[in-house]
Amino acid sequence: MRAPIKYVLTAQVFRSIISLVLLVGMSSIEAEPLPFEACPTRAFIIQKPGSVPKTYGVDMATGSYSTFSEDMGTVNGYNGVGFSEHDSFLYGWDYQRNQVSRTGTDFQITDIGSFNKDTQSEAAGNFFVGDVAINENAWYGYRKNHGMFKVPLDTGASYLMSYIPGSIDGASHTIMDMAFHPSDGYIYAMTSSTNSHLIQIDPATGLSSNLGLVLTSPNKMTFGAQFFDVNGNMYISDNHTGIIYKVNIASLSAEAFSYGPSSTSNDGARCANADIPVASNVDFGDAPDSYGTLMASNGARHETSSALYLGDLVDNESDAHLPLLSDDLSDGSDDEDGISFPTGFEVGEQAMINAAVSGTSGSGYLNAWFDWNANGSFEADERAISAQAISNGNNSIAFTVPVWAVAGPSWARFRISSTADIIAKGGVADGEVEDYPVVVTTTGVAMTYYPNASSYTAVAYEDLFPLEGDFDMNDVIMHLRFIHYVKSGMIHSIRIKARLVAMGAGFHNGFAIQIPGLLRSNIHEASISWTIDGVTQSTSPLETGQTNAVFIFADDLWHYATADEGEGCKYFRTQAGCGSSAVIEWDMTVPFVNSVSASAMPGVPFDPFIFSAPGYSHGQIVTDLIGSDPGRGLEIHLKNKAPTDKFDNRLLGAGHDISNPATGSYFQNADGQPWALEVPDTWSYPLERQSLNETYGEFMGFAGDISGETNSTWYLNANGPVYVNKN
């Protein structure tokens, strides 16, 4: 007989058995979902393009979205979803379980436990309209013709869904979603229709009020996803188009805010107390904000990438930089480089633009607007290019300037995107926006520029007249650009752009431009339009009491600039180590009463001059000569330019000045040196108290040759330290 086999339960065997038991046990228990971060800024969009619900995370500012989950663990619907600020989970109606279920970071629809319903809740069936309250931890569901229903979510593992008594009386509206306001306690919903109304619902009673009509469309709108931001702005997503509208519930107005994903089945959830941040990869336009440029104005904005853009460059900003402080000028990277204008824009005539497209996607759609009536906004009938398909490389596009367009300066906006049909404002998930200043002319009008359409000539002054100064020629420096509008050889208007560049002067000086030989009476004064730093001026710049046309840009330039910040900085952009980013610009358009022959028109830069600001002293010698401050009577002009009618002739030939009107000699000393000089460039001028001769050694060779041929580009070759102007 054989001996019995003994089975020995060793520790190793015991551990193996326990591990196996645990493994089997754990596989039968569902993993608990984890909550989302507290109050995320992205919106959750749940769509069911096929049979399986998917979750997207939408950047509200641009409408760009990413897929959070391709499969939520159900083949049925998940709707009426809301974000709970109480525990940072999503709660929505689970079509598979016929109850409210929870979703966490795994995006799996999870059973919350024992779920019971009262009689009316059982009869209501499934829900697709719902949200989680802000002031209480409860999910609310709405069913048309049934009423409002509530599920408290803080009752542990057993939940009861109950009908809110009397709420059926407020359940007559066709709504696809609803959302709790972040702070006023009400629920709001936009109806689905061609005429969409805003409904306000009291969650306590379920009774509703129709606040009014907000949106109309020729096509039915279905707003399956509706939510709020922390500022009480409501956002609604149209299932058909994916357009997210921003609704102002106080003014009952709405506008397209961004372009998100579209789907026949759409539901949304968002933390109502989250703001709408701008991501780090967003491009804004540059036009004045009346066109919708800043984020606060729902400005045009695009999420940027290498996939699709205009030109060679695209940059990102947290918000738009409005003119005159565009980042294109300040950061050395001008990304307005994708559109060029080979023709002008003549009223009633065809025009052309070139669009250079770049990116890995290879193609996109171009939309463009021109403010043809120059009213500061892009209207629907000013959309010159509509959803034009374009591809990588240069694309020439023709269109017609409408006959009702207004001649003059204006703005144009160009947007490229993979979304075809967009408006002039709002966020888009890809592409770029570029804004350009443009000029509309009447037919046959030519524009000539000095020095050119994007550059300036500099006029530099010494202001100690009639005494010599240190000849650093930076007491006042202005940049000027001149545009002539010419038709058939006749100039009918001019435009002057001026910038204050530097002031190394203790005296107060004004700035003006005289046009010698152009009579004041030939200026159509009532039609002069001018701005200072983009602000339209209501007063006339045309000086009274003058024979010639004299335009006063500033009575005192120190009203517009301040001394640079920094220790020892006394002046405006003339001292080493001192500087300012201020841009001070004038833009003046002057129509004539009668056109002037181009051959008879005085040459540019006309006669720009500075003058002693009224009410200020201009040196003891002047006071001794005149017996008082000079008032308006002291002017400093370019060499051999005669002063205006306002000049006090007692100053001619005084001090170091050898002016002699009989010979046409003005504003020069015995060495022939001027008190004012034009340099046809955005010039790097001498530093404070550094003479022009020392800084630009070639100048005297140039000045000594009356033909102008010696050292003709002396102003480009500094041999001393200069102030490099970046503005």
Partner 1 sequence: MNSTLTQWLAVITVICIAVQINACVYSGQEDETDDSSANSTSTNMDSSSRKALIDPFNTLESTYKLAIDINLATQERAFLSICNNFSLADSNNTDSNTIGLEATSSLKMTYTVDFDACLVRAPLIHGQYVQELKVANHDDVFIVVVWYYDGSDPLYQIWRKDEESQYQQLVLD
Map the footprint of partner 1 across residues 315-354, applying CB under 8 A: 340-344, 346, 349-350, 352
Max Cα distance, the chain (Å): 151
Query: Terminus-to-terminus CA distance in the chain, angstroms?
Result: 110
Q: Minimum Å distance from CB 446 to partner 1?
A: 3
CB atoms < 10 A from the CB of 707, how many?
6
The site string for partner 1 over 507-536 (x = CB under 8 A, - otherwise) reads: x-----------------------------
Tell me whether residue 256 or residue 654 sits nearer to partner 1 (CB atom): 654
CB 249 within 8 A of CB 207: no
The answer to whether 614 contacts partner 1 (rule: CB under 8 A) is no
**Three-state secondary structure call for residue 260:** coil
Interface residue with partner 1 among 35, 73, 397, 702 (CB under 8 A) is: 702
- Which 708-727 residues touch partner 1, going by CB under 8 A? 708-709, 712-716
User: Is 444 or 615 the residue whose CB approaches partner 1 more closely?
Assistant: 444
Q: Which of 450, 497, 519, 582 binds partner 1 (CB under 8 A)?
A: 450
Scanning the structure block, which residue is given the tokens 């997210």?
Answer: 244
Of the candidates 70, 566, 671, 719, which one interacts with partner 1 according to CB under 8 A? 671
Q: What is the footprint of partner 1 within residues 549-608 (CB under 8 A)?
A: 598-599, 603-604
Closer residue to partner 1 in complex, CB, 169/671: 671
CA distance linking residue 501 with residue 506, whole number of Å: 16
Task: State the nearest-atom distance from the C-beta of 623 to partner 1, in Å.
Answer: 8
**Site string (379-418) toward partner 1, x via CB under 8 A:** -----------------x-x--------------------
**Measured distance CA(536)–CA(519) in Å, rounded:** 25
> Which one, 279 or 356, has the nearer CB to partner 1?
356
Under the binding rule (CB under 8 A), the answer on residue 624 touching partner 1 is yes
Considering only residues 168, 279, 583, 700, which one is a binding residue for partner 1 as defined by CB under 8 A? 700
Question: Of the listed pieces 6-14, 524-532, 534-542, 679-687, which binds partner 1 according to CB under 8 A?
Answer: 679-687
Stretch that binds partner 1, among 12-20, 75-83, 494-502, 632-640 (CB under 8 A): 632-640
Which residue in the set 620, 627, 662, 724 belongs to the binding site for partner 1 (CB under 8 A)?
620
| CB-based contact 131:178 (threshold 8 Å) | yes
**Pair 586, 530: CB distance under 8 Å:** yes
Give 255 or 337: the residue with its C-beta nearer to partner 1.
337
Q: How far apart are CA 335 and CA 327, in angstroms?
A: 9
| Minimum gap (Å) between residue 515 Cβ and partner 1 | 15
Helix (H) or strand (E) holding 207: none
**498 or 703: whose CB is closer to partner 1?**
703
**CA–centroid distance for 647 within its chain:** 45
Query: Residue 216: exposed, middle, or buried by beta-carbon count in 10 A (0-12, 13-18, 19+)?
Result: exposed
Site string for partner 1, 485-504 (x = CB under 8 A): -x-xx--------------x
Amino acid at 478: M
- Choice between 30 and 709, CB closer to partner 1: 709
Instruction: In angstroms, give the least distance from the CB of 463 to partner 1.
Output: 9
Q: Of 316 and 710, which has the nearer Cβ to partner 1?
A: 710
* 681 in contact with partner 1 (CB under 8 A): yes
- What strands, in cross-sheet order, belong to the sheet with 65-69? 65-69, 54-58, 43-47, 266-269
Q: In what order do the strands lie in the sheet with 607-612?
A: 548-554, 509-519, 607-612, 635-636
Nearer CB in complex with partner 1: 543/607 = 607
Figure out which of the listed residues 55, 669, 684, 690 binds partner 1, where binding follows CB under 8 A.
669
Residue 213 or 453: which CB sits closer to partner 1?
Answer: 453
* Residues 646-665 interacting with partner 1 (rule: CB under 8 A): 653-656, 658, 663-665
Report the C-alpha gap between 392 and 355 in whole angstroms. 9
DSSP at 602: P
- Least distance (Å) from partner 1 to the CB of residue 678? 7
Tell me which stretch binds partner 1 (CB under 8 A): 67-75, 412-420, 421-429, 672-680.
672-680
Among 81, 638, 642, 687, binds partner 1 (CB under 8 A): 638
Residue 298 sits in the site that holds partner 1 (CB under 8 A): no
Binding segment (CB under 8 A) for partner 1, from list 361-369, 523-531, 557-565, 614-622:
614-622
Map tokens 């994903």 to a residue: 261
Q: Which stretch binds partner 1 (CB under 8 A): 171-179, 522-530, 589-597, 669-677?
A: 669-677
Residue 553 Cβ vs partner 1, minimum distance, rounded to whole Å: 21
- Nearest distance in Å: CB 400, partner 1: 11
As a whole number of angstroms, the distance between CA 672 and CA 342 comes to: 45
For 146, the token pair is 């049934």
Q: What count of Cα atoms within 13 Å lies in the side-chain half-sphere of residue 60?
A: 28
Contact window for partner 1 (CB under 8 A) among 69-77, 79-87, 413-421, 461-469:
461-469
Q: How far is CA 460 from CA 505, 588, 683, in A?
A: 12, 20, 10
Which of 143, 270, 618, 632 contacts partner 1 by CB under 8 A?
618
- Taking the CA atoms of residue 58, residue 63, residue 66 and residue 71 in that order, the dihedral angle to the nearest 10 degrees is 60
Single out the residue of 445, 494, 501, 687 in contact with partner 1 (rule: CB under 8 A).
445
Burial label for 467, CB within 10 Å (0-12, 13-18, 19+), is: middle
The nearer residue to partner 1, 271 or 613, going by C-beta atoms, is 613
Q: Which of these, 610, 582, 606, lies nearest to 505 by C-alpha position? A: 610
Contact residue for partner 1 among 230, 294, 446, 542 (CB under 8 A): 446
Site for partner 1 in 354-383 (CB under 8 A): none
DSSP 3-state of 648: coil
CB nearer to partner 1: pick between 209 and 455: 455
CA distances from 383 to 339, 412, 548 (A): 16, 10, 43
Q: In what order do the strands lie in the sheet with 432-441?
A: 345-346, 432-441, 408-417, 363-370, 383-391
Min dist CB 571 to partner 1, Å, is 8
Q: Which is nearer to partner 1, 4 or 342 (CB)?
A: 342
190 binds partner 1 (CB under 8 A): no
Residue 448 to residues 338, 482, 484, 485, Cα–Cα distance (Å): 24, 8, 5, 7
Cα distance between residue 137 and residue 370, in whole Å: 51
Phi, psi of 220 (to 5 degrees): -60, 135
Angle made by CA atoms 98, 104, 106, in degrees to the nearest 5: 105
Q: How many residues sit close enough to partner 1 to count as binding (CB under 8 A)?
A: 88
Query: Which of 449, 519, 522, 582 forms a contact with partner 1 (CB under 8 A)?
Result: 449
Asked whether the CA dihedral 355, 360, 365, 367 is positive or negative, the reply is negative
Q: Can you say whether the dihedral through the CA atoms of 460, 465, 466, 468 is positive or negative?
A: negative
Of the candidate spans 94-102, 144-152, 320-328, 695-703, the one that interacts with partner 1 by CB under 8 A turns out to be 695-703
Cβ 202 to partner 1 shortest distance, Å? 59
Tokens representing residue 683 in the block? 């010039």
Instruction: Work out whether 453 is an interface residue with partner 1 (CB under 8 A).
Output: yes
Please answer whether residues 547 and 645 qualify as being in contact, where contact means their C-beta atoms are separated by less than 8 angstroms: yes
210: β partners: 199
For partner 1, give the closer residue by CB, 208 or 326. 326
- From the CB of 546, what's the least distance to partner 1, in Å? 23
Check residue 447 for interaction with partner 1 (CB under 8 A).
yes
Q: How far is CA 479 from CA 85, 140, 252, 504, 716, in A?
A: 57, 65, 48, 15, 16
